[in-house]
Amino acid sequence: MSKRVVIVGGGVIGLLTAYNLAANAEQVVVCDQGAVGRESSWAGGGIVSPLYPWRYSPAVTALAHWSQDFYPRLGDHLFARTGIDPQVHTTGLYWLDLEDQDQALAWAAREQRPLSEVAISAAYAAVSALGPGYERALYMPGVANVRNPRLVKSLKAALLALPNVSLREHCQISGFVRTHERISGVVTQEGVLSADEVVLSAGAWSGDLLRTLGLELPVEPVKGQMILFKCAADFLPSMVLAKGRYAIPRRDGHILVGSTLEHEGYDKTPTEVALNSLRASAIELLPQLAQAPVVAHWAGLRPGSPEGVPYIGPVPGHAGLWLNCGHYRNGLVLAPASCKLLVDLMSGARPLIDPAPYAPAGRVD
């Protein structure tokens, strides 16, 4: 492993990459233009599954399966190391009145995942707060959600405890340093930061940074807005999803409802239109939320990419530059497997899965 690695971007992908690299690298530096973990990683819902896993390619499925199985262990490990519990909360997930239910069941049989049709009466018995009128339900029992702000805090604390890792927050990166055919560092507002290897994991900003090298990476910001309610701790025992909107219970009774999909560039301003739309969806799904105040409303920027398949691996023609970005709506879901795969590739270890579908070669112009 190289002596010094600089990671551009301090979301969950960048932080977990740093944590995995720290065992073998002499020094790891994480740079973020703001506070680490405060962009997409902070804003998402934290469901440890794609919303509709059967609609994704096998490449996304492979990363998701490994990560889902690993998340409880990761949560326990970070809690033991830092005292900050990421709260990997296994609740199961109900999908209601799906248009492509047959496709979902066929996917579950093919992938041997425990997704099955249940009687709608069973769904109402399990989730008594559900609104009226739903006719069909699918259920997957093992799906968890992670309390993503706490995951970020726990990862940050774990990294700060390592002597060979440093976090540089509010460190704007404007470009890369090239020595002959090799990337040998990054340009910050404070000067050049040299490195043996550079990892680009800057979320929605990754495409802009790679463009400084004359490369086109089809990653763009996609705005998502969410709202938060506070209810009794036992109000919602399972995650539920209908008509493209979902409700996620936290252990303390907070209920997240999301989300929107908006192509508005880098604008993260929460809007009244989205607030009203999300609240209406929440009340349709769980009518008792009409009496619960919205305690928070926010927006974040996802790193949109074609088909949601991330870019993981070396950049051809730019030795020393690696990508781990473009996870779109599934950064939290795919993070453990994505970061493990990247570190496998960087260290020459046998990759945990076939890396070919994620390789930048042929996908970055």
State pLDDT tens for residues 184-233: 999 999 999 999 999 999 999 999 999 999 999 999 999 999 999 999 99
pLDDT value for 236: 97
**161 and 230 both lie in a single domain:** no
**119 and 247 both lie in a single domain:** yes
Per the prediction, the chain carries an average pLDDT of 96
Residues 35 and 11: beta-carbon distance below 8 Å: no
Q: What is the CATH number of the domain that holds 15?
A: 3.50.50.60
Tell whether the model's pLDDT for residue 258 goes beyond 90.
Answer: yes
pLDDT value for 329: 94
The CA distance from 18 to 29, in Å, is 8
Residues 108 and 161: beta-carbon distance below 8 Å: no
**131 and 156 both lie in a single domain:** no
**122 and 235 both lie in a single domain:** yes
Summarize the confidence of residues 252-260 as an average pLDDT.
96
**2 confidence band (pLDDT: 50, 70, 90):** low
For the chain, the distance separating the N- and C-terminal CA atoms, rounded to the nearest angstrom, is: 27
Q: Which amino acid is at 15?
A: L
pLDDT value for 365: 82
**238 and 289 both lie in a single domain:** yes
b/e burial code for range 125-138 (CB count within 10 A of at least 16 → b) = ebbebbbeebeebb
- Residue 107: inside a domain: yes
Specify burial of residue 276 (Cβ count, 10 A radius: 0-12, 13-18, 19+): exposed
Tell which of 304, 323, 339 closes a domain. Answer: 304
**225 and 130 both lie in a single domain:** yes
Q: What is the CATH number of the domain that holds 228?
A: 3.30.9.10
**277 and 342 both lie in a single domain:** no
Helical segments of the chain, H only:
12-21, 40-43, 58-82, 101-111, 120-126, 148-160, 206-211, 272-285, 331-347
The CA distance from 39 to 350, in Å, is 32
* Residues of the domain holding 341: 4-45+150-219+307-358
Count the domains in the chain: 2
The CA distance from 139 to 98, in Å, is 12
365 alpha-carbon distance from chain centroid: 25
**CB proximity list for 159: less than 8 A, separation 6 or greater:** 15, 18, 19, 22, 30, 165, 167
**185 and 171 both lie in a single domain:** yes
Nearest to 21 by CA among 47, 8, 2, 34: 2
**160 confidence band (pLDDT: 50, 70, 90):** very high
pLDDT value for 33: 96
Summarize the confidence of residues 78-95 as an average pLDDT.
97
